[in-house]
Structure 1
């Protein structure tokens, strides 16, 4: 950016900053937000390929009006999302509740300890099938087992893990 356009931008900033802050202050909740939106007007003005010297007040306030519209659209989307979350039956439940996070971590620790306690071929087969998502036939071929044997190992693992999880609860 040339020095002339920087000084012209400074001139525009001095001239339009107070009226823009007043414009935004009437339309947003706080002065800090009005300041941020005023700054965004000048950022957008710098990004345009238009000649800064020929920038009119109408053009600057059109940018400001568009920012207000963008903000309103953004707020509307957030409200719709919040309404959708509330209507899904999770009313009053914070998905990031520290107790729920700690409880889930504890459950995962118990589950992992139970998986580690499985007999060796059952443990490997269970991890390959349930964690790594490898088809039963591939597991059977690699272990040299029949498909029914792999099914039995997976069933035993599930029963063992369910019992362990119930004991810990």
Structure 2
């Protein structure tokens, strides 16, 4: 049989609110936790509770711990504006951008040295991400032919990169 919640609230509500307020240092949060505690009690269908006060405090303590964990996850530490200058930008530096562009141009030039069909297979597989089977189907070739062209392209590019 469920205890009469109005009697339990009258007997333990204020004491529970003080207990929670000492821990969270916020009257509103403490009141919310008390309310959540009694909602929890209300939602328990016909549970047998031997010591209602101990049960109320156990529920409240669990809700408090959950609240404190959530607060810890949400907490952010204030930082002075100067500190944001030390955070790395998502963009590459101008030097890195030029270097990446030059590398891309070298790879593009190496691909242009390949026979037209090998270029097409290389781009579909390595750039567009198609599987060997998908490339073969798209171009009307066997998978073996696609693999041979890719092997030739990779060997060519490896030789050219080593030569630099």
User: Under a length normalisation based on structure 1, what TM-score does the superposition of the two structures give?
Assistant: 0.44
Q: TM-score, normalised by structure 2?
A: 0.45
Q: Which has the larger radius of gyration?
A: 2
